[in-house]
Amino acid sequence: IEQTGDKGIKLQDVKDGKATLDEFVAQLDNVELEAITRGDYKMNSPLGAKGNAGAYGGVLESLREKGVKPIITTDGPSGIRILSCCSLLPIGTLLACTFDTKLVEKLYSIIAKEMKEKGSDVLLAPGMNIHRNPLCGRNFEYFSEDPYVSGKMGAACVRGVQSLGGSACPKHFACNNQELARTTNDSQVSERALREIYLKAFEICVKEAHPKNIMTSYNKINGVWSHYNYDTCVTVLRNEWCYEGNVMTDWWMHPSKSIEFPKIRDQAYRVRSGVNLLMPGGDRVTNGKPDGTLFATLDKPFGITVGEVQQSAKWVLKSVMEIE
C-alpha cells in the first residue's frame, strides 16, 4: 500500500482494492471506532440536508479526512421527510393492495432519484411489521397481516430504493405490532410463530433484495430488547439468512446490562449483540459526548474487546462504501 507521510489508508483505497477493510479499520483509534458505532447524536444533523433524521459514518473530522463520508438518513415509508418539498407516496397498506411488486419497485425507483436530488442516502423504509393489532398506530406504514405479501412488497421497495446506489432500511426488526407501550412492551411469542409470521417477511426481503441497512425495534422479544437480541440479530439474521449489511437501532435505545456478561452494558452490550450502529447517537437529551459504556470493560475479564468493536465498525463502513 502506497502511503504518504502520516496520511495512512483512505477508505477509497479499500474501494479501489489497494487495501483491505481490515487494514483500514486497524489504523483507527478507539475514539474513531466509538464514533463509527453511533450517529451524529441528533436528528437534523448539520452534516446533511435540513430536516434529516440523522447522520452516521464520517461524524468526526478525522474520519472524514480518512475518506469516510457522512451518510444521511431520512424518514420514511411514505416518502422522504425533510424540510424541503418532497413527494408524498401512497401508504404501505395501499401499495400492498395492488399485489403488484413491479409497480411498487418502479415507484420506489422514482424515490431513489428524489433521494439523490434531496440529499438522502438512506431512506428509513420500508416498514414491514405485521398487522396483528388493528389499533397499531403505524399500521398505515406497514403492508399486511400476511408475512408473504409483506416480504414481497418490502423486497420490491428495497430494490427500487437501492436501484440508484442509495440504501433502504427495512424496519422494525422485529415484533413491533401494537401501539400500547410500543416502545417498552415485551413481545412474547413462540419460536414457530416468530419464524412463520413475524420474521418471515424480513427473511424474504433480506434474501431477495439484500438491503444495505436494517433497523431493530424498540420492544423486547421474549424478554430481551431487540437492540440487544443476539438470537435475532446474529443467530437468525447473519448466520441463517447470511445478511451482509449494517444493523442499526431505532432512534435511541433502552439502557440495560447483559444477562450473560453482567459487567458490560449499553453500547458494549449492543455491539456484542450484533447491533452495529446506535442512531442517532447518545441519549434523547445528550451533551454530544460518548456515554463511556463502549470501552468501559476493555481489558477486563469478559469485557468488550477491540476486535468486537472493529468488527462492528466494518459492517458500518461496508454500508458507507456501498452507498453512492
Question: What mean pLDDT do residues 254-269 have?
Answer: 95
Say how far residue 159 (Cα) sits from the centre of its chain.
17
Taking the C-alpha atoms of residue 126 and residue 45, their distance in angstroms, rounded to an integer, is 22
Query: At which residue does the C-alpha cell 451533551 appear?
Result: 287
Residues in the chain: 324
Q: H/E element holding 62? A: helix 61-65
- The model's pLDDT over 163-189, given as tens digits with 9 standing for 90+, comes to 999 999 999 999 999 999 999 999 999
User: Is 250 a residue of the active site?
Assistant: yes
What is the DSSP pairing of strand 54-57 with strand 220-221? unpaired
What amino acid occupies position 117? Answer: E
pLDDT band at 76, cuts 50/70/90?
confident
Q: What are the residues whose beta carbons fall under 8 Å from the beta carbon of 27, sequence distance 6 or more?
A: 8, 9
Cell matching residue 159: 430494490
Q: What Cα–Cα distance (Å) separates residue 7 from each residue in 4, 19, 27, 36, 102?
A: 6, 14, 11, 19, 47
pLDDT band at 191, cuts 50/70/90?
very high
pLDDT band at 288, cuts 50/70/90?
confident
Domains of the chain: 11-322 (3.20.20.300)
Taking the C-alpha atoms of residue 162 and residue 88, their distance in angstroms, rounded to an integer, is 19
Question: What mean pLDDT do residues 259-288 have?
Answer: 90
Question: What mean pLDDT do residues 43-63 have?
Answer: 96
Long-range pairs for 10-13 at CB < 8 Å and ≥24 separation?
10/66, 10/67, 11/66, 11/67, 11/68, 11/317, 11/320, 11/321, 12/67, 13/67
- The model's pLDDT over 209-229, given as tens digits with 9 standing for 90+, comes to 999 999 999 999 999 999 999
Catalytic residue among 40, 75, 121, 250: 250
What pTM value is reported for the model? Answer: 0.95
